[in-house]
Amino acid sequence: MESVNGLYKTECIRTTVFHGGPFKTLSDVEFATAGWVDWYNNRRLHGTLGMLTPVEFETLHYEALTREPAPTK
């Protein structure tokens, strides 16, 4: 959990990637957090997943599970 909190602080709170300037209200923090969570869960490239996004990896995983086996002779 500490690792995710550290990433959140580094990538969302201490930069302006997910917000356009200083936080003035709680809503500003909530909006930036929602953007970061969406990016973190859906669009970030993940080294452990072969530099795929989590969504791409999950899609490939479920496609592999539902493929019909090749016929054998």
Q: pLDDT, tens digit, for every residue of 18-57?
A: 998 899 999 999 999 999 999 998 899 999 999 999 999 9
- In angstroms, the CA 21 to CA 1 distance is 27
Selected residue with higher pLDDT from 47 and 70: 47
- In angstroms, the CA 21 to CA 18 distance is 9
Selected residue with higher pLDDT from 71 and 61: 61
pLDDT at 69 over 80: no
Closest CA to 17 of 7, 5, 26: 7
Selected residue with higher pLDDT from 7 and 68: 7
Q: Strand, helix or coil at 55? A: helix
Place of tokens 């970061």: 36
pTM: 0.71
